[in-house]
């Protein structure tokens, strides 16, 4: 969507480094935020779903992650820490409603065990609960952006102490609920229509998928277009927040001293492969992430093709801070890639684990799956015995599942990597 977000392009792509092969390791918001905060794959955090068994904050807290994540680790390293927005699904279920986990100096977290829409939500602000409504000036992205700017300004009163801030906005999550000032933007915009949109022939896909993905009718397509326009409109508030961030850093003279990362927790289907919404599939629309970095020594206007995942954020942050990376972390530090002379592609990881260890899949019932994404291939094994293989150089839209046609050596090679990575932990997850 960067063509529709010129300020994001100007702030990040033109002035920083763009990762072209960055992925959500579990492309579902709750598990993905666990990947981001703990630097571990979902099969290790145990947070594998948004609802039900293995879901959200109750699982996160029960497995000890309130005290084992990037906030407490950086605070222990001397950083002033703040979080603004989403933390975990169903936070703070199993705790007092005013509970604030240790390790965060400024805690402004949306309580997702209540209504948590962009235009109506409850915020835990350092133990005080406040209900906000957009109709009275409380649009979520605006409030969180304002709290972030206040945090940075307060942090800079002690210039010798570094700060870490995590801004986790709800926009453009459905229901999109754009800010009132943006409701007239993008009139007539429609979701992209590439060859995978309402894919006419899915006979190559696994049987469980064929059984649940009928051709979309005109009414469904119209709904997709409406939601797409709402997402574009909601993303304008993300641009506003990003612009405000850099204005604050410029005013404080800290732009050249601060690393800023921009990404998301999952992609979203908008009619591709007949999927009219949702995520948690191994398709590119679900797993591929925007991933941009600005900061000291980071080259401007450059792209890099090395494989990166959301599990890499924690070790990267800790490495940049000069802090110890816990042995529990599964990801790799991206710091060797953040200069004008990055580590050679040939010596970087050859594949990235993608996985859905279980739990609900939306909008379809999806079996558990594990797979690998290489520079040019996607290979996935489902727990019902079916699998998928796509040659992305010749089939970037994943129209032709070649699992039955590919050579046995190709499938054996990739299957061996899936077997190793689906059970990996810590150092065994890295090449």
Residues 8, 29, 143, 249: which is the catalytic one?
A: 29
β-strand partners of 49: 55
* C-alpha distances out from residue 245 to 8, 79, 144, 154, 361, Å: 12, 19, 11, 14, 35
Sign of torsion, CA 305 306 311 315? negative
Sign of torsion, CA 414 25 314 60? negative
Pair 49, 366: CB distance under 8 Å: no
Q: Are strands 106-110 and 80-85 parallel, antiparallel or unpaired?
A: parallel
The verdict on whether 29 is a catalytic residue reads yes
Name the residues annotated as catalytic.
29
């Amino acid at each position: 969507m960067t063509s529709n977000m010129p300020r994001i392009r100007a702030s990040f792509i033109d002035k920083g480094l763009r990762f072209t092969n960055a992925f959500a390791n579990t492309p579902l918001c709750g598990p993905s935020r666990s990947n981001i905060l703990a630097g571990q794959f979902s099969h290790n955090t145990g947070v594998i779903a948004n609802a039900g068994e293995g879901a959200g904050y109750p699982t996160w807290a029960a497995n000890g992650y309130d005290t084992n994540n990037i906030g407490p680790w950086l605070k222990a390293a001397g950083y002033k820490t703040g979080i603004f927005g989403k933390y975990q699904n169903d936070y703070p279920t199993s705790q007092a409603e005013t509970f604030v986990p240790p390790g965060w100096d400024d805690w402004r977290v949306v309580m997702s065990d209540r209504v948590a829409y962009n235009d109506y939500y409850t915020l835990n602000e350092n133990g005080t609960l406040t209900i906000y409504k957009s109709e009275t000036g409380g649009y979520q992205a605006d409030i969180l952006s304002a709290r972030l700017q206040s945090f940075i300004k307060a942090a800079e009163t002690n210039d010798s102490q570094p700060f870490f801030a995590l801004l986790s906005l709800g926009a453009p999550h459905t229901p999109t609920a754009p800010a009132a000032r943006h409701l007239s933007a993008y009139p007539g915009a429609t979701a992209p229509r590439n060859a995978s949109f309402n894919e006419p022939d899915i006979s190559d896909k696994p049987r469980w998928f064929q059984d649940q993905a009928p051709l979309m009718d005109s009414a469904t397509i119209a709904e997709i277009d409406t939601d797409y326009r709402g997402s574009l409109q909601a993303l304008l508030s993300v641009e506003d927040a990003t612009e405000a961030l850099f204005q604050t850093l410029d005013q404080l003279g800290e732009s050249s001293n601060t690393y800023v990362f921009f990404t998301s927790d999952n992609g979203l289907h908008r009619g591709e492969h007949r999927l009219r919404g949702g995520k948690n599939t191994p398709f590119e629309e679900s797993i591929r992430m925007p991933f941009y970095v600005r900061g000291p020594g980071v080259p401007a206007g450059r792209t890099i093709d090395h494989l990166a995942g959301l599990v890499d954020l924690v070790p990267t942050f800790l490495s940049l801070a000069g802090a110890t990376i816990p042995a529990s972390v599964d990801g790799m530090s991206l710091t060797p890639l953040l200069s004008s002379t990055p580590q050679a592609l040939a010596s970087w990881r050859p594949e990235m684990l993608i996985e859905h260890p279980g739990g609900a899949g939306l909008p379809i019932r999806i079996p558990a799956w594990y797979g690998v994404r290489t520079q040019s291939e996607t290979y996935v094994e489902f727990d019902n015995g079916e699998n998928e293989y796509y040659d992305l150089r010749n089939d970037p839209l994943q129209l032709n599942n070649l699992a039955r046609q590919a050579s046995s050596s190709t499938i054996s090679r990739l299957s061996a990597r899936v077997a190793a990575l689906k059970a990996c932990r810590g150092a065994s997850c890295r090449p």
